[in-house]
DNA sequence: AGAACGCTTCGATGGAGAACGAACAATGCG
DNA sequence: CGCATTGTTCGTTCTCCATCGAAGCGTTCT
């Protein structure tokens, strides 16, 4: 019977199937409307609305009203990290290692995590960037290396116009159990990948699938 | 309405106040009996027993029977990490930055995290060990440096008799938002600290309080 | 203005599960 | 062998909350 942060309150919010589905959908990074989330969760609109106000009240979501639309999004990277942590546990203690389906495989290779790329390919990318001293890993913190400016400028990403959020962050990957790159730089790289059409987002999934030439281009830029 | 690891199931288990209190108590690292946990959670013994079997079934706990005692413990570091992640979110979205009480302050300085030391002091220790190249940080992985054997042998810790669990692991600290040292080495160091009576565990809390000479001794060994 | 849309609020219903007392099982002690 | 200690199982009660239909409110389109 001890005091402290109310962890039951937070976990309880995630602990309802409908809400968990919504949060999962929002892990894709794009904010969604109430009706889209209702569809995702498989519940009626009033029910979804009720859940959303609870999540909002609980501080796990943010709301942006635009005209008659109301866009709900994850409250921040920390919330996303928590979801990944829970997913990791569910993955290991869950159904005794069910054989991974094809989509599951694609998810392991590359997927969206909030606003940046995750999975095998993302972990490899960060490793390589650190090897090349473009980025410097210093504990969980990741900093820009000396050559970062020119390296990213070459592919049209400006890393020196400081935004509010940190440029680099490490985010733990639940399938690889290692870190991948988050922060505004991680987000910018994902943008680049989608913008150049090196890969596209799988419909109704967090999976990101690379086209063969897209994969080559990606490897040339980030893994060479 | 997508598939994937059943995160609602796991979060739901943590989402009950009684169960959350139990898990919190077990974050102290020592396995506890059903009656101790009932006391912690503030529920009757039958109720506690019911919760414990749910947590066990859910894979979050392990059970060790010894005579008429049944010791429940956290299922592993991954579960502990998840709890820390949830705690972190609860901490930031929770009661608008309530002024930290004295015990809360002690918790931030040093506390037990599963089986090793966490908090400000633990983070500083890891930083220093990496600076001195006793340990080498390589992504989230931490490895032994060349001088690790002699360095730890000098204080009576053998790092080369390989156990099942990894010797070094990084664990994210919810109060510092940086990593501290886990793994068997982290556990051995905490043992050392308590064994030498440099510090003692606060009653009914995860807080670890150093005596003035204990603090000096600790700093001499780990922060010099 | 009127109609269509997007979403929230209200009220009623049903079901899940948290709680405890009492009984039952297992272990250890004198 | 009794008897205390430790836990689990059973049955019951009760509260909470997820759910949906219907109605209400603000926005946009024509």
Average of per-residue pLDDT values in chain B: 83
Interface test with A, best of B90, B141, B143, B180 (most A CBs within 10 A): B90
| B203-CA/C20-C1' distance, Å | 29
| B1-CA/C26-C1' distance, Å | 46
Q: Name the nearest CA neighbour of B133 among B143, B121, B124, B123.
A: B143
Residue numbers of chain B with a pLDDT score lower than 70: 1-3, 94-103, 138-141, 161-166, 170-178, 203-204
The whole-number pLDDT of residue B61 equals: 95
A35 CB contact with strand D at below 7 Å: no
Q: Name the nearest CA neighbour of A83 among A11, A138, A147.
A: A11
The whole-number pLDDT of residue B136 equals: 84
Nearest-by-CA chain B residue for A142: B139
**Domain A7-75: CATH class, spelled out:** mainly alpha
Residue numbers of chain A with a pLDDT score lower than 50: 1, 96-97, 99-102
Instruction: Give the separation between CA A169 and CA A181, rounded to whole angstroms.
Output: 6
Identify nearest nucleotide to residue A68 by CA to C1′ distance.
D27
Interface test with A, best of B89, B94, B101 (most A CBs within 10 A): B89
The whole-number pLDDT of residue B140 equals: 54
The vertex-B122 CA angle with A142 and B20, nearest 5°, equals 95
The whole-number pLDDT of residue B191 equals: 84
Q: What is the pLDDT of residues A188-205, one digit of tens each?
A: 888 888 888 899 887 767
Identify nearest nucleotide to residue B69 by CA to C1′ distance.
D6
Partners of B126 on chain A (C-beta within 8 Å) are 139
Instruction: Give the separation between CA B139 and CA B131, rounded to whole angstroms.
Output: 15
The whole-number pLDDT of residue B116 equals: 79
**E-state strands within chain A:** 32-33, 61-66, 69-74, 111-113, 116-118, 135-138, 141-144, 169-172, 179-182, 199-201, 208-210
CB A180 within 8 A of CB A171: yes
Interface test with B, best of A3, A10, A87 (most B CBs within 10 A): A10
User: Which residues are registered as beta bridge partners of A143?
Assistant: A136
Which helix or strand (DSSP H or E) is residue B1 part of?
Answer: none
Does A98 lie at the interface with B, CB-CB under 8 angstroms? no
Q: Given an 8 Å threshold on Cβ–Cβ distance, is A8 in contact with B19?
A: yes
Partners of B177 on chain A (C-beta within 8 Å) are 140
Does B14 lie at the interface with A, CB-CB under 8 angstroms? yes
The whole-number pLDDT of residue B19 equals: 97
Partners of B23 on chain A (C-beta within 8 Å) are 7
Token pair 């913008």 is found at A195
Domain ranges within chain A, ordered by starting residue: 7-75, 86-223
- Which are the contacts of A18, defined by CB distance < 8 A and separation ≥ 6? A41, A42, A43, A47, A48, A51
- Look up residue B6 and give its two tokens: 């059943």
The whole-number pLDDT of residue A204 equals: 65
């Amino acid at each position: 019977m001890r005091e402290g942060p109310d962890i039951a309150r937070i976990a309880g919010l995630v602990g309802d199937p409908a809400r968990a589905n919504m949060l999962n959908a929002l892990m894709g990074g794009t904010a969604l409307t109430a009706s889209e989330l209702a569809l995702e969760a498989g519940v009626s609109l009033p029910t979804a609305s009720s859940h959303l106000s609870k999540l909002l009240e609980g501080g796990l979501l943010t709301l942006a009203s635009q005209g008659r639309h109301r866009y709900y999004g994850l409250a921040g990277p920390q919330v996303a990290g928590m979801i990944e942590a829970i997913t990791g546990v569910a993955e290991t203690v869950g159904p005794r290692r069910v054989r991974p389906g094809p989509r599951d495989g694609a998810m392991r290779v590359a997927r969206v995590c909030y606003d940046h790329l995750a999975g095998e390919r993302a972990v490899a990318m960060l490793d390589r960037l650190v090897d090349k001293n473009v980025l410097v890993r210093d504990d969980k913190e990741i900093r820009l290396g000396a050559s970062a400016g020119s390296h990213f400028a070459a592919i049209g990403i400006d890393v020196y116009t400081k935004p509010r959020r940190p440029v680099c962050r490490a985010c733990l990957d639940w399938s690889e159990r290692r870190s991948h790159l988050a922060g505004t730089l991680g987000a910018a790289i994902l943008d680049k990948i989608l913008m150049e059409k090196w890969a596209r987002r799988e419909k109704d999934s967090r999976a990101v699938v690379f086209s063969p030439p897209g994969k080559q281009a990606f490897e040339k830029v980030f893994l060479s």
